[in-house]
């Protein structure tokens, strides 16, 4: 995906459905330091929209989104 980004933490939400990936992402982003990246894996069809919307509203940066045949990998940088 993005070779120059090393995640501080990886969150596996595969098999979980809304709203659980969102709740777990929110908790995990709060557990890392400002400037660090959270890597999230999910297969919920709503996860891409939910997590990117959450990140933007919370003031974080969506570094990359990769959808590999329904398996999402989302990289979110904590900005505040």
Q: Output the pTM of the full model.
A: 0.92
Q: Quick one: average pLDDT of 20-37?
A: 97
- pLDDT of 2: 59
CATH H-level, domain 9-77: superfamily? TusA-like domain (3.30.110.40)
CB 40 within 8 A of CB 51: yes
Residue 13 designated active-site: no
- pLDDT of 62: 97
The Cα 6–Cα 20 span in angstroms is: 24
Instruction: List the catalytic residue out of 8, 14, 18, 32.
Output: 18
- pLDDT of 1: 53
Q: Which residues contact 35 (CB under 8 A, 6 or more apart)?
A: 77, 78, 79
């Amino acid at each position: 995906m993005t070779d120059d980004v090393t995640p501080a933490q990886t969150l596996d939400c595969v098999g979980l459905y809304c709203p659980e990936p969102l709740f777990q992402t929110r908790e995990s982003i709060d557990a890392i330091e400002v400037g660090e990246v959270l890597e999230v894996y999910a297969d919920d069809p709503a996860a891409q929209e939910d997590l990117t919307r959450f990140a933007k509203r919370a003031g974080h940066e969506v570094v990359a989104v990769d959808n590999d045949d329904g398996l999402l990998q989302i990289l979110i940088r904590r900005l505040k």
